[in-house]
Amino acid sequence: MPELAEVEYYRKLWDVGVGTRVLRVALHADKRPLRGLDPKAVITALTGSTLLGSEAQAKQMLFCFGRRGKPTAWLGIHLGMTGHLRVEPSSFTPEKHDHLVFWQAGRALVFTDPRQFGRIRFDEGGSPPLWWTTLPPAVTSPEFTVDRLRAFVARRKKSTIKGALLMQEFFPGVGNWMADEILWRARLNPQRHSGNLTPAESKTLWHESRAVCRIALETVGVDFKDPPAGWFFHVRWSPKGSCPRCRQPIKTATVAGRTTRWCPKCQPENR
């Protein structure tokens, strides 16, 4: 599933259409990603409007459309597991997995989702919708403090640390590979319980969470290139991978319902 950096990358692909009117809209109203939407309302509101801008938070993105420079409609996109955005020529013809298309002069903005785990949300009005404005603070934001993290893990003391990192209400946008990266950098075993963290370990977890999110946005989020050399990311995907620090074989297990990889030497169970 795309994580916050991949979401940021896909969001920016549609920036090529900012400032340009939508000439035509096509959607698959009967498909799962558009569940609950009124297709006529979407088409009526967006046809003739201009894409004014966009932003991403966590695993979601929001596109603002308007008329005469003022916001009038908001389109939210959650990519799910296989969703992605792309830009095609204006002659583009949608295929079965292209569930939403905006045609502009010279291009088509396309949302594709083969497995249909993504979701499209739509709201009209001059202000961003409530579901967007009430999302939790980003891990990279000033509001994400070490004291907030300590309070959160204290409330989730029976959860594994890996499980806590995957909780979107506090670590928005962090997914499976980023959680493993954070724990490797923090030298924390993913199977430890959150309630066992020392104050120093909580501060390290806070620091590494912010660092991984920030650097991922600066690399993956810019042009989809891999994170820097030396990251656990580069060996995590190999069943025979070894730790970049100590060269010990990496272990694999299911933790918090997700395939998890870690270094048994750098991230021992008794720490």
Residues known to be catalytic:
2-3, 59, 258
Q: Report helix, strand or coil for 233.
A: helix
Q: How far is CA 135 from CA 16, 60, 132, 212, in A?
A: 26, 10, 6, 20
Q: Is-contact 263 231, C-beta < 8 A?
A: no
Please give the helix or strand (H or E) that residue 148 lies within, else none: helix 146-155
d(CA 123, CA 236): 40
Q: How does DSSP classify residue 160?
A: B
Angle CA 234–203–161, to nearest 5 = 60
Is the Cα dihedral 116, 257, 132, 208 positive or negative? negative
Annotate 160-181 with b (16+ C-beta within 10 A) or e (fewer). bbbbbbbbeebbbbbbbbbbbb
- For tokens 């209400």, name the residue: 169
Task: Give the up-direction half-sphere exposure of residue 18: CA atoms within 13 A in the CB hemisphere.
Answer: 14
